[in-house]
Structure 1
Amino acid sequence: MILRRFLFLVLVISIYPVSVRGEGEIYLSNPDSTQLRRPNYRQLHGLFAAQTALYAGSLYGLSKTWYKNPLVRFNIADDTHEWKQLDKVGHLYTAYQISRHTAQMYSWTGVSKKQAVIYGAISGFFFQTPIEILDGFSSDYGFSPGDMVANLAGPVLYAGQVLLWDEIRIQPKFSFHYTTLAQQRPELLGSNKAERWLKDYNGQTYWFSWSPRSFFPESNWPAWLCLSAGYGIHDMVAGETAKSIELGYRPYRQYYLSLDVDLTKIKTRNKFVRTVGFMLNSLKVPAPALEFSQRGFSFRPIYY
């Protein structure tokens, strides 16, 4: 199901205008952000219309192509035990990134910082809610309370930081590497490289990056250099741990500590470079990492 969330994130980014002011989480560090500005209602209404049309069309397409079997009575499926909850972190990540990107777009219409953050957070949550509802009417999936909690946690993490600290200090990020496990069950973990990137949870790692400088502004720590804590899984060739064990594997969790770069904190006057940095800041930069799992500690010279 992560494929559908990824498609929505791509759709949000696809309407991104290549224009950026300021540095960091751009509108937050704009020196004019504290001044009252009259919203450009034409742009604001246009953005509302574009989001509505894009989302409605996407949902219609999904309802016709993704759900192959006829819809049934609404049903609930508790899948919180699957994939060692890595998929739930993926939901949080996707909802967070949709919130972050849409808030940035709203800020360009001239609304206040608080309004942009709230509109972005609402978008991050509601962009995914109808998908969960459609799942509830599907015999293949079912409505997942765990997914809904994660879908809410992402926007809360985004808006909560801005409203509490007036900036983003903790940034969810993503990295991926190909594994040989997908070859064992290509129908589930992906039959080609593109599918494996989206379906093979064994190769996905979700990170939370932060710069000590954000918490200790008087320190000499570079603002762009971050510490990053990651979470991944391995040997999961089925959604359920028991099923993976039956197939001869021993699934386990992986925890990482690494370095990262906040691309929005790298100073440059080039607007295009700042825009690219803002968009790529959702991905973890490859770097040395310390891994801890049930197998003990290990050092990865370069991990992604």
Structure 2
Amino acid sequence: MHRSFYRLAIMVCLLFSGGAIFSQTTHTTRHLSNDSMPNPHPERVKWVAIGHSAAFAGSLTGLAVLWYADHPKSGFHFFDDNAEWLQVDKAGHLYSAYMISHTSSELWKWAGVPRKKRIWLAGIGGLAYQSIIEVLDGFSAEYGFSAGDYVANILGTATFVSQELLWDRQKIKIKFSVFPKRYTEPQLEQRANKLYGKTIIERSLKDYNQQTYWLSADIKSLFHSEKWPAWLNISIGYGAKGMFGGTSNKVTDQNGNIIFDRTDIPRQRQWYLSPDLNFSAFKTNKKGVKILFFILDSFKFPAPALELSGGKLRGHFLYF
């Protein structure tokens, strides 16, 4: 579960370091990504490098102190968690790897680093950071190196890198949405408190029942359609519900006694089709607005949606 926290930590650190970086230069910046700069700007490159180093080192140090220090160590080992959480956790790894590379690339691009160099810097740097986390997990007695997580990390990074190399833009973006909620049944709420935490932030990060991951396609640029609005994307989402354990809703203690049994609740995958806003289509010369659009574009915009789950099709007037 802690992976949700380190994924959030590194993305927040990169975004805040980006804000600090922008404030350190006196040069006027028209965009978050300045394509007009022909050569690297030494001052900006320096601050971007410092920002990356601080974000990566700070988050790793925080994990070492706040997480790994409280968990027993072991020899390096693997752990197969591919069957857990109906793979929603793997979608989370895909998203975080994509966003780390995307955010990093935008910062290097703003610094004037040449196109291919900044793409590979962002991709390799982000994957290296996540690799360290997976290796640390491998030495934790309670976890282990997850090949499934690592493959998802690679795929997320590759999704960003391949589109940049092919199109020099992200025509298909990976996005995230969440709608934290409480469970009406006391037994389920008690179980959720134990698994996912009690606060809204904890539930948003740790309760996979409340998360949806999206592929948001820029139809206009993909199909070169002149009539299709540039701001309107079509997105396909994936999530799941009814999960109160990694692989089962039945839990036993060390002696084999049943302490939680809600096998009556079906664990179901959910597929969605929904329109989405493409914030990158909104042009602005204001630096702060440009950064805001970049952040908003990492989340799926609430909109009507069709859901396919349990063999049934249903509609949502507004889905988060």
* TM-score for the superposition, normalised by structure 2: 0.87
**Partner Cα separation in structure 1 for residue 100 and residue 317 of structure 2:** 32
What amino acid maps onto 2:181 in structure 1? Answer: T
**Partner Cα separation in structure 2 for residue 60 and residue 251 of structure 1:** 36
Partner of 1:15, secondary structure, is helix
What amino acid maps onto 1:123 in structure 2? Answer: G
1:221 equivalenced with 2:228 (yes/no): yes
Q: 1:200 matched to which residue of 2?
A: 207
What amino acid maps onto 1:183 in structure 2? Answer: E
1:17-63 deviation line (CA, Å, top 9, x unaligned)? 358635xx845xx4x36xxx221234324422332243223212211
Whether the 8 Å contact between 2:33 and 2:107 is mirrored in structure 1 is no
Q: 1:247 matched to which residue of 2?
A: 262
Q: 2:30 matched to which residue of 1?
A: 21
Q: 1:298 matched to which residue of 2?
A: 314
What amino acid maps onto 1:48 in structure 2? Answer: A
Range 65-74 or range 86-95, more displaced: 65-74
**Partner Cα separation in structure 1 for residue 210 and residue 273 of structure 2:** 17
Identity rate of aligned residues, in percent? 39
Q: 2:245 matched to which residue of 1?
A: 238
Deviation at 1:178, TM superposition (A): 2.0
Partner of 2:250, secondary structure, is helix
1:170 equivalenced with 2:177 (yes/no): no
Say which of 279, 283, 290 aligns to 2:295. 279
Partner of 2:215, secondary structure, is strand
**Partner Cα separation in structure 1 for residue 262 and residue 278 of structure 2:** 41
1:184-238 deviation line (CA, Å, top 9, x unaligned)? 4211122111110111100000011012101222430011100010001000011
Partner of 1:128, secondary structure, is helix
**Partner Cα separation in structure 1 for residue 154 and residue 200 of structure 2:** 30
What amino acid maps onto 1:40 in structure 2? Answer: H
Q: 1:183 matched to which residue of 2?
A: 189
Whether the 8 Å contact between 1:103 and 1:116 is mirrored in structure 2 is yes
**Partner Cα separation in structure 1 for residue 218 and residue 120 of structure 2:** 24
Are the structure 2 counterparts of residues 26 and 39 from structure 1 closer, same or farther at C-alpha, using a change threshold of 3 Å? closer
Are the structure 2 counterparts of residues 46 and 159 from structure 1 closer, same or farther at C-alpha, using a change threshold of 3 Å? same
Q: 1:90 matched to which residue of 2?
A: 92
**Partner Cα separation in structure 2 for residue 202 and residue 196 of structure 1:** 9
Whether the 8 Å contact between 2:77 and 2:144 is mirrored in structure 1 is yes
**Partner Cα separation in structure 2 for residue 47 and residue 134 of structure 1:** 26
Partner of 2:106, secondary structure, is helix
Partner of 1:260, secondary structure, is strand
Q: CA RMSD in A?
A: 2.0
Range 158-167 or range 269-278, more displaced: 269-278
Whether the 8 Å contact between 1:98 and 1:123 is mirrored in structure 2 is no
What amino acid maps onto 1:247 in structure 2? Answer: R
Q: 1:104 matched to which residue of 2?
A: 106
**Partner Cα separation in structure 1 for residue 314 and residue 208 of structure 2:** 20
**Partner Cα separation in structure 2 for residue 178 and residue 136 of structure 1:** 31
Range 162-171 or range 61-70, more displaced: 61-70
Q: Following superposition of structure 1 onto structure 2, how do residues 138-177 of structure 1 map, counting pairs within 5 Å?
A: 138-177=140-179
**Partner Cα separation in structure 2 for residue 172 and residue 53 of structure 1:** 26
Are the structure 2 counterparts of residues 179 and 53 from structure 1 closer, same or farther at C-alpha, using a change threshold of 3 Å? closer
Whether the 8 Å contact between 1:210 and 1:227 is mirrored in structure 2 is yes
Q: Following superposition of structure 1 onto structure 2, how do residues 25-36 of structure 1 map, counting pairs within 5 Å?
A: 26-27=33-34, 30=35, 32=36
What amino acid maps onto 2:237 in structure 1? Answer: G
1:115-148 deviation line (CA, Å, top 9, x unaligned)? 1111111122122111111110101111101111
Q: 2:255 matched to which residue of 1?
A: none
- Unpaired stretches in structure 1, ≥5 consecutive residues: none
Whether the 8 Å contact between 1:289 and 1:302 is mirrored in structure 2 is yes
Partner of 1:107, secondary structure, is helix
